[in-house]
Amino acid sequence: MTMMMPAAAARMHPRSAGLTLRVRSHASRPALRVRAQQQQEQFDCAGNGGASTDMRPELKEAITTFIQENKVVLFMKGTRDMPKCGFSKTVVTVLNNCSVPYETVDILADDMLRTGMKEFSQWPTFPQLYVAGEFYGGCDITVDAYHNGELAEDLEVAFNE
């Protein structure tokens, strides 16, 4: 089941929402690095102070759009080159072993994003992996799926859609 983006979100330009997801893509090809920079500038959550625990509709729409535009997204602590927790590092290692392109978002860069992701996914911890627009799981679920071959199958399906 693929999440469908609301029509209003499809028309909304991310900049108008004033949101930024801190995206880190360390692709070896220059074109992909340029694309990663454009994605980094797409949203801006900073400046709201994270005072509210209710997710702003603009943040929800921005997260939904980003997840739908990318086959594999890892919301993690730190970056793929410098994970800031062992669980995030483990999932990065698993994804690297799968040899698929993926995007990472550093949830430590913004309190509102970090809090919003917990509400968005209904999952209290990080990392959070999304495959083909759907929440896949955290570290334990991802590692188990990797070891039993389910992750490889799910990634193959995602990239062949």
Which two tokens mark 73? Answer: 């997204």
CB 66 within 8 A of CB 73: yes
46-83 tens-digit pLDDT: 444 434 457 889 999 999 999 999 999 999 999 999 99
Average of per-residue pLDDT values in the chain: 77
Residue 55's pLDDT is 82
pLDDT beyond 80 at 89:
yes
Question: For 40-54, 96-110, 121-135, which range has the lowest pLDDT when averaged over its residues?
Answer: 40-54
Query: Is 2 a domain residue?
Result: no
Residue 161 binned pLDDT confidence (cut-offs 50, 70, 90): confident
More confident residue, 27 or 84: 84
Query: Is 152 a domain residue?
Result: yes
CATH of the domain at 38: 3.40.30.10
pLDDT beyond 90 at 96:
yes
Residue 134's pLDDT is 96
Q: Which of 66, 99, 107 is nearest to 83 (CA)?
A: 107
pTM to 2 decimals? Answer: 0.69
98-114 tens-digit pLDDT: 999 999 999 999 999 99
Residue 72's pLDDT is 98
Q: What contacts 155, CB < 8 A, 6 or more positions away?
A: 72, 98, 100, 131
Residue 53's pLDDT is 53
More confident residue, 50 or 92: 92
Domain containing residue 57: 7-159
142-160 tens-digit pLDDT: 999 999 999 999 999 999 9
Query: Is 147 a domain residue?
Result: yes
Q: Give the chain's domain count.
A: 1
